[in-house]
Amino acid sequence: MRILKNLEIEESIASKKLMFEESWWEKFDTFTNYFMFLALIVPSILALGSVKSSANSDLEYLLCGSGLFFGLYGFYCKFTEKDLKEIKFNIHKEDAKQRILEYGNKNNYRVSKISNNLIFLNEPTSGYTLGNYEKTIMIFFKNESILYTLIKESARLNVPVLFSQHIIRIDLKKILKKTNKQTKNINKRNGFSSFFLKD
């Protein structure tokens, strides 16, 4: 798991941004990632400007445009990596925690830390890099919502999580949604109570 030194839980929740003590390696890693994506963005822009109309120009536009899009998207993902995205829910906070823990167990995540307001779900990324490295879903709890982000560790560069973050968002929204069965039970209880509490 990627180590975030002196992670401030309450401050992170309040600011909706990971608050921790960055080491010189973290700063260098961030700079290197930015440089890597800029090295893809700048040549793509220059190549787009030099494409001339021909039989192959559509393919050239597609290749250069794809490179530009990937570079911009990767830069954006690294830039917003520490931002905590919010998902609101209308169930009890403890129920939300239990559902997320069940989700983690069902999908074979390693739960590495549980506190009152924080859960880490870790997934091995050893299939992509040498060594035992992990991608971590960090989930902070508020009263009626969660704040989360995905971070990744690797051998040399902690590149941002590019695409699986969208799948995780869909999954988290789905498991935190109140089910129809729960709604019916609540309505039944309310109806039962109102029958006996009529004036």
Q: How confident is the model at residue 57, as a pLDDT?
A: 74
Domain ranges of the chain: 11-83, 84-187
CATH of domain 84-187: 3.30.310
Q: What percent of the chain has pLDDT over 70?
A: 85
Q: What average pLDDT does this structure show over 78-87?
A: 95
**Per-residue pLDDT reduced to its tens digit, 54-74:** 767 778 888 889 999 999 999
**Per-residue pLDDT reduced to its tens digit, 3-20:** 888 999 999 999 999 999
Q: How far is CA 55 from CA 62, 64, 68, in A?
A: 13, 16, 22
pTM: 0.80
The three state secondary structure string of 134-184 is EEEEEEEECCCEEEEEEEECCCCCCCCCCCHHHHHHHHHHHHCCCCHHHHH
d(CA 94, CA 117): 10
Max mean pLDDT among 21-25, 152-156, 176-180 falls in 21-25
pLDDT at residue 187 greater than cutoff 90? no
Q: Residue 59's Cα: distance from chain center in Å?
A: 33
pLDDT grade for 181, boundaries at 50, 70 and 90: low
Q: Which two tokens stand for residue 161?
A: 């999580």
d(CA 140, CA 172): 13
| 3-state SS, residue 78 | helix
Q: What average pLDDT does this structure show over 138-161?
A: 90
d(CA 137, CA 13): 15
- b/e map 135-148, b = 16+ CB within 10 Å: bbbbbbbbeebbbb
